[in-house]
Amino acid sequence: LFGRLMGLTNRPKLRRAIMFSSIGMNLGILCYFKYRGFFLNELYDALVKLGYQPGYAPLDPLAIIIPFGISFYTFEAISYAVDVYTRKIEPEKSLPRFLLFILFFPHLVAGPIVRAGDFLRQTRRPKRWNWLRVQVGVQLFLIGAFKKMAIADRMAMFCDPVLSNPDAYNSVAMWFAVLAYAVRIYCDFSGYSDMAIGAAHLLGYKLTMNFNMPYLAVNVSDFWRRWHISLSTWLRDYIFIPLGGSRGSRWLNYRNLMITMALGGLWHGAAWGYIVWGIAHGTLLILQKQFQHYCHDKPGLTAFLETTVGTGLRILLTFFCVSMCWVLFQPELGKALTVFSKLFYIQPGLRLDLSNQSLWATVIFLFACQWLVRSGLWARIYPRLPAPVLGMGYAICLCTAL
């Protein structure tokens, strides 16, 4: 309705008021269901520490059932309102098509975040049976299922016991858990995205690619151009740029980066761990920009960083920094701090009773696959593989996932 109203008037102030009404409504629903308990309980704890007795009891987080996918379709609804206001798209006149855009089930829970301009255009296109499209959809779905069930769930056996009870394990187990957690998060998120994109292909819709070998990124900015691409571009277009983006002074740019990343962390979950995770990434982005300014008048250092050795070092450093940030990516910030204390201070404790060979084999397999794609070898090998070999490969993915 708000979109239709914006389409009926050319008065800038009225259109702006309608847009902010739509955004406010969507954010209000999101905050009530997802953040109400978090903020009220934090306020309750702060008042108690100051010696006041609040007039309400702490809220049970399970008292409000959060609707499935509310974070994703709220962002999609907000982007729709902004795009209609800026006249990037025309208001959708068909309610069924608009509901299909908001409630399209493959990506509803885990993304990717869909833009109205891309999806609504596809709803008007006739859908016909196409074996090639079915093949692509099934292949993507199988790859996603393999990532999720064969890799991510396997890595959970290494990281979940340690990260849920870090006091009981020693430093060696902690380092293995952090490595396994980094692999698990990537294969979990990208696996769900691949399955969503594959299922959408089967139904005749093309969703945007959401991950592009993020652990081969050469810096943190490059990581965010490869990681959860639909989210990072949404944050860029609808938060960072409206705040001022890279315009203005360097400090305003840093402020905009920090606000954007902190809100991106809060979007992932109503807990301090996610907020601090976002702030940590904002800090890394600022440090990277500072380092780029430092290298600006040092051609020798810049040339070394562009060599094969320099690029490898940058990839390793980026992966290390991102993995350290993943430790914060959990609801309980206290456990994350305990993990950090054990990572860099050797303490006695239990070792994880699992074979490390399986962990290292999985890590090497994952990075080898990404290197094959990035180097271009896979693009040359894949078209030459016989159909029985491809079929056997996807059958192995299916059996391993199950």
Catalogue the long-range contacts made by 292-299 (C-beta closer than 8 Å, 24 or more residues apart): none
349 in Cβ contact with 170 (< 8 Å)? yes
Catalytic residue among 107, 228, 268, 281: 268
Of the chain, the end-to-end C-alpha distance in Å amounts to: 45
Question: Residue 215 has which token pair?
Answer: 């652990």
Q: What gap in Å lies between CA 139 and CA 143, rounded to an integer?
A: 6
Closest-CA residue to 236 (of 5, 79, 99): 79
Peptide bond into 331 cis (omega under 30): no
Q: How many CA atoms lie within 13 A of 296 on its CB side?
A: 7
Q: Is 268 a catalytic residue?
A: yes
The 8-class DSSP code of residue 124 comes to T
Helices (H), 165-219: 171-202
Q: Which of 13, 175, 203, 12 is nearest to 107 (CA)?
A: 203
User: Is the CA virtual torsion 175, 178, 181, 186 positive or negative?
Assistant: negative
Angle at 190 between CA 186 and CA 191, to 5 degrees: 110
CA 12 to chain centre: 35
Question: CA–CA distance from 322 to each of 315, 353, 357 (Å)?
Answer: 11, 26, 23
Contact 395/145 with Cβ under 8 angstroms? no
Q: How far apart are CA 322 and CA 56, in angstroms?
A: 40
Closest CA to 120 of 211, 210, 3, 237: 3
Q: Is 42 left (phi over 0), alpha (psi -120 to 50) or beta?
A: alpha
Cα gap 247→327, rounded to integer Å: 33
In DSSP notation, 339-379 reads HHHHHSS----BPPSS-HHHHHHHHHHHHHHHHHHHHTHHH
Are 326 and 185 within 8 A, CB to CB?
A: yes
Helix/strand/coil for 402: coil
Could you give the residue numbers annotated as active site? 268
